[in-house]
Amino acid sequence: MSDKLPVLAITSGEPAGIGPDLCAALPEAGLPARLVVLGDRELITRRVLALKPGLEVVDYQPWLPRPEHALEVLHIPLRAPAQAGVLDAANGRYVLDILDRAIAGCKSGEFAGMVTAPVHKGIICEGGVEFSGHTEYLAEATHTPLVVMMLVGGGMRVALATTHLPLRAVPDAITRPLLTDVLRILHKDLRAHFGLPKPRILVAGLNPHAGEGGHMGREEIDVITPVLDTLRAEGMQLAGPLPADTLFVPHHLKNGDAVLAMYHDQGLPVLKHASFGGGVNVTLGLPIIRTSVDHGTALDLAGTAQADPGSLFAAVQLAITMALHRRARAC
């Protein structure tokens, strides 16, 4: 097994947002990896000079050793001039150029994984490209039929059975096949990327009090419990369905390595309360490693030196950990 540091692609995201600012802070974190920032070299240099005037920006040259105390940039040219805080639809395609290069590098093995700074979905769509988010874009680019969103932070890992759906659509979306596939992906990636040989997963019910024996809904009886029984017979360690209002107390959490929530706002408010600004979004089920910050583009903070890089640092550290676990399993 190689002792070399993992090489990670850091996508700088929306050029008018705080992504380039956050990237400028990376060398100060002292993270154990070779971090390659993907984006327009002039733009990133300009932000570095304004925010970290003593930091050197160098071109990424993979055949040379990692430079010390410098920011490595793989140049992806802007489609139009960029100004901090001012969106321009002409650069929607630039943001996707960055993603495409990072994906290609991960698929080829050039990069051990990718960490994404925030993008602005609306401005990409205004630029003429239908874009619903990083997760969907990565799934399509890697021909992955189903991916699972998981947030990590505050001592918790919380995965979602469904993501961005209207609440009235959630019960119909939670089917036995979907829940089975989501749990298999979660179980597989907790083993492969988090070093958990026998992951313990706490599964939330959908209804209040987990349906209370059918008096508050039958999804637990008709869908969730049969799936859990089948997967337990395959050897998975699954607890539930558990009432979501008490699942996140320490008594339950100490017995689990991850939580599966049934919908977005069932699981994420608790985790974000515990870790906002330092949480990490992970896309499970992909053939590549991808982590992300847990916040948006913060246009009002771009270029002001007020953006907090904590979530980016945490996302990079988690990507490093995942890459090392994957490397160890391959040896």
pLDDT for residue 205 is more than 50:
yes
Give per-residue pLDDT as tens, 124-158: 999 999 898 898 999 999 999 999 999 999 999 99
pLDDT at 1: 37
pLDDT for residue 215 is more than 90:
yes
Q: Are residues 220 and 166 in the same domain?
A: yes
Q: Are residues 2 and 97 in the same domain?
A: yes
The least confident of 78-92, 184-198, 248-262, 264-278 is: 264-278
Q: Are residues 170 and 280 in the same domain?
A: yes
Q: Are residues 137 and 156 in the same domain?
A: no
Q: Are residues 318 and 239 in the same domain?
A: no
Q: Are residues 253 and 292 in the same domain?
A: no
pLDDT at 12: 97
Structure tokens at 33: 């990896």
Q: Are residues 48 and 151 in the same domain?
A: no
**Full domain range(s) for residue 306:** 1-144+287-331
Cα(49)–Cα(12) distance, rounded to whole angstroms? 16
Mean pLDDT over residues 235-258, rounded? 95
Q: Are residues 96 and 129 in the same domain?
A: yes
More confident: 79 or 327: 79
Count CA atoms closer than 13 A to 151's CA, side-chain side: 28
pLDDT for residue 54 is more than 50:
yes
SS3 content of the chain, % helix, strand, coil (to 5): 45, 20, 35
The CATH number given to whatever domain includes residue 119 is: 3.40.718.10
pLDDT for residue 301 is more than 80:
yes
Q: Are residues 199 and 323 in the same domain?
A: no
pLDDT at 2: 45
CB 125 within 8 A of CB 137: no
Mean pLDDT over residues 60-68, rounded? 91
Q: Are residues 260 and 191 in the same domain?
A: yes
Q: Are residues 8 and 139 in the same domain?
A: yes
Mean pLDDT over residues 252-278, rounded? 92
Number of domains in the chain: 2
pLDDT band at 310; cut points 50, 70, 90: very high
What Cα–Cα distance (Å) separates residue 241 from each residue in 87, 199, 234, 262?
A: 44, 17, 18, 10
Backbone torsions φ then ψ of 299, nearest 5 degrees = -55, -35
Mean pLDDT over residues 65-76, rounded? 93
Q: Are residues 131 and 155 in the same domain?
A: no
pLDDT at 4: 86
Mean pLDDT of the chain: 94
pLDDT for residue 277 is more than 80:
no
pLDDT at 3: 55
pLDDT band at 59; cut points 50, 70, 90: very high
